[in-house]
Structure 1
């Protein structure tokens, strides 16, 4: 059964500035260099009016993963492909969706994302649904993957905020 994870972050910066920085091609490339792992790359970047779609490849050293996850992956690093699509929302702010696939595994994730003005700044909210189709231990693996995703989101959010202030 899929696991649902929520992530929220607030900042004093307006939603438009957070969004513009977060989806900026150069910022994405810098972020991948800093925290994308082995083989990280921006595979696709397609601006579409005020929105954008991009695909990222992340790599994770197998030694950085929980043992229950590495048992499913035959040797080598983990390769994650993540596609995000963002657009302005009719209610103000920006809405996004993401799809994540982990090569060679029965693990996937889908996310809905929102950046909106709130309390003199903005809030970045994400709901992620992780699915690991493995009998008996799938839920435990989903939980471990979910924690990794939360850590990644926190690191990426911190990076974005540093770029705004740079």
Structure 2
């Protein structure tokens, strides 16, 4: 049986393992931590198709709205392939920040595990297939809290 392996896959895998190897060699990460990070992938959460299922897969039974979460992003995104989104919170003891896009085929767009020493702030770019509500889901003291923002995606980047 012949395995198919593309050039792109080789470059992506090589770059990721090369960077991880540098961190291990520099003493910033132990080999056990590197393996633990690789095993920490929550495939079930990234396979969910709605907000409630995502919350459950992230370890919560439900979630509550919070005014202590700030979700930033454009009101209108001219390119749905790269929509800038940021999340900041003043909630205490944050252990996880997730970004969810309601109308994407897979709801969970990004998930960040936070250490106790990290400032609870993340920024990234997400892909949106259409106009949708975007949710910031924050785990604080074992409970999930959310904030939402509607982001409109224009067709053809025309801005209207």
TM-score interval, normalised by the smaller of the two chains: under 0.3
More helix by share: 1
Larger Rg: 2
TM-score, length of structure 2 as denominator length: 0.27
Greater RCO between the two (CA within 8 Å, min separation 6)? 1
More strand by share: 1
